[in-house]
Amino acid sequence: MKEGLSSLDIETLVNELQTIIDGYVEKIYQTSKDEILIRIKTKKEKIKLLIHAGKYVCITKKSIGSPKTPTTFAMTLRKYLTNVRITGVRQHDFDRIVEFEIGKYGLVAELFSKGNILLLEDSKIIVPLSYQRWGHRVLKSKADYVYPPGRCNPLTFSFEEFKDILGKTKKDIVRTLALDMNLGGLYSEEICLNAGVDKNAKKLNERDIKKIHDAFLNLMKMERKPLIVFRDNRAVDVVPIKLSIYKDCDVKEYPSFNDAVDIFFSERKEIMAEEEKSSEYNKMMEKYERQRRQQENALKKFEKEITENKRKGDLIYENYILVDKILQAVKKKGDVQTFKEIVEENRNEGWVEILLGEARVKLDIRKGISENAGYYYNSSKKAKEKMFGVKNALDATMEKMKNLEKKSYEKKEEKKKKFFWFEKYRWFLSSNNVLVIGGKDAKSNERIVKKYLKEKDRYAHADIHGAPSVVVKGADETTLREACVFSLIFSKAWNMKIESGDAYWVLPEQVSKTPSTGEFVPKGGFIIRGKKNYFRGIKIRAAIGEAEIESTKKIMCGSVTAVKHHSKRYLVFEPGETKKTDFAKQIGKMFDSPAEEIMRILPPGDVKIIESVGITV
């Protein structure tokens, strides 16, 4: 799995980050020892910029908790940067360094090795996230900021310079591209693959160098198509372009590389956190399991001692005369050959071992029968007392295991059951992560428009009676189309089983409850004045899958494009003959959710499954 961004990744990302220029820093938080979150206010919106030292930088849409007490580093950044305008964002010489110009200050994010984040003024370090020292540079307060030793910037090379480096190298071609040309392993392998040149070759003729150079230029010119790459349903990489090296992998496309980076690394953090929790859980469970086995073995041992020692005491009394004769004979050093019951003896140490039935019983020849029997009865009693203590310890261990299991289950359930305000309505997240909500009935239609339709939002509705009012918390073309699809699939058109329909969107000021003379507005209905922006011939087709919102998995039903964007496993369906109740039960089993919850988010009628992805139907 990818750990951090390459130089080419950063070059793409920095181009997208130009949107924060002219924004003002509102607040800065240190969210972990390696990470800061900067809240930025631009003319259009509020933005959260996340910088993870040594890994990545991106605008995030995720909800990230911040400590109640700010760190010294965060406080220092706030002191110098709050309410200061961002005037530039750039990559330093195609290296893994991003520089933010904020007023007269510089904020430098080093995204290689262990990484660092540094606040500068006139190339002097005001404060670093962490103190670091090498032979050629020191990162500490009041020191001059010195860049790491310069690497090549292949974007500035002529063919002759390119040829010169490849011609002089003693390394194989892939390592020369990765290290000497600062392209990283992945893109170097991609260049070799596309050029049809052996990546392990060390000597290249001019023809092969030309192929490599052409493949490099083509890679740089490729249309940016941000993707997350999956192997076995697990995200393994995030890239700004489509790569031949991943042709056999599943991929998911995103509207921007920033979105892809945000989702990839936030999910990676969650996976690592889950694995850490799982590892901690497994360690504790293994510890308790080990204790349980030891305690159960101790119980068996004591149970055996109780039974055997009592039996030996009983056997001594049951064979009173025989035992007495043997003891007397051994004490007096007489002939004991006549006693076939004797197994072993040691008169010097004062003991004899005899066989009574199937039990070997060791006797102290210095003691009488009662004392020997008493020894075994006492041993049985002591074992019983110890067994009682072990039983209590075992019960305590079992209780700890039960509580640990319960806590783990409760955390999973809490994560699964987290309820968001918009779940009271129909809802979905668009392909661009915009929240869209719709009414479930006349009352909720009224409520969402009155309470949630704001100045910058949009209103959508199917061009048919009996459709939900839809509030769109954004205005991009993709989201508006998906919102119109959403309104149509939850309208009466579904039960009418028609193939397609029309829907439109309008501005908030076009939506009114005030009728003109002769008009009537029913409850839940609205009058639309002015131009309606139509999407026509919309296929009445929906999808259902699993989306993640603030680290919580939620079953989402909406337009096919939106669900495909958010879910690795989903079903596409349209009006059909399969009972809605049967379909809900089927979906419930697939996603481990109650059928009643699924019923609440499905369109109003029966269905027909069209496509299944990541799910066996």
Residue that the structure tokens 């009271």 belong to: 424
Cα–Cα distance, 599 to 595 (Å, whole number):
6
The token duo for 541 is: 């087709």
Backbone angles phi, psi at 377, to 5 degrees: -65, -40
Cα–Cα distance, 612 to 95 (Å, whole number):
43
Instruction: Report the pLDDT value the prediction gives residue 359, as an integer from 0 to 100.
Output: 93
Instruction: Report the pLDDT value the prediction gives residue 600, as an integer from 0 to 100.
Output: 93
Residues of the chain with pLDDT under 50: none
Rg for the chain, CA atoms, rounded: 38
CA distances from 196 to 246, 348, 548 (A): 16, 91, 40
The token duo for 444 is: 């909720």
Instruction: Report the pLDDT value the prediction gives residue 416, as an integer from 0 to 100.
Output: 56
Region of residue 287 (left: phi > 0; alpha: psi -120 to 50; beta: else): alpha
Do the Cβ atoms of 540 and 499 come closer than 8 Å?
Answer: yes
DSSP secondary structure letter of residue 69: S
Cα–Cα distance, 112 to 98 (Å, whole number):
11
Instruction: Report the pLDDT value the prediction gives residue 411, as an integer from 0 to 100.
Output: 67
Cα–Cα distance, 548 to 509 (Å, whole number):
33
Can you say whether the dihedral through the CA atoms of 354, 357, 361, 363 is positive or negative? negative
Q: Output the pTM of the full model.
A: 0.59
Bridge-based pairing of strands 542-549 and 552-558 is: antiparallel
Cα–Cα distance, 226 to 537 (Å, whole number):
30
Do the Cβ atoms of 397 and 288 come closer than 8 Å?
Answer: yes
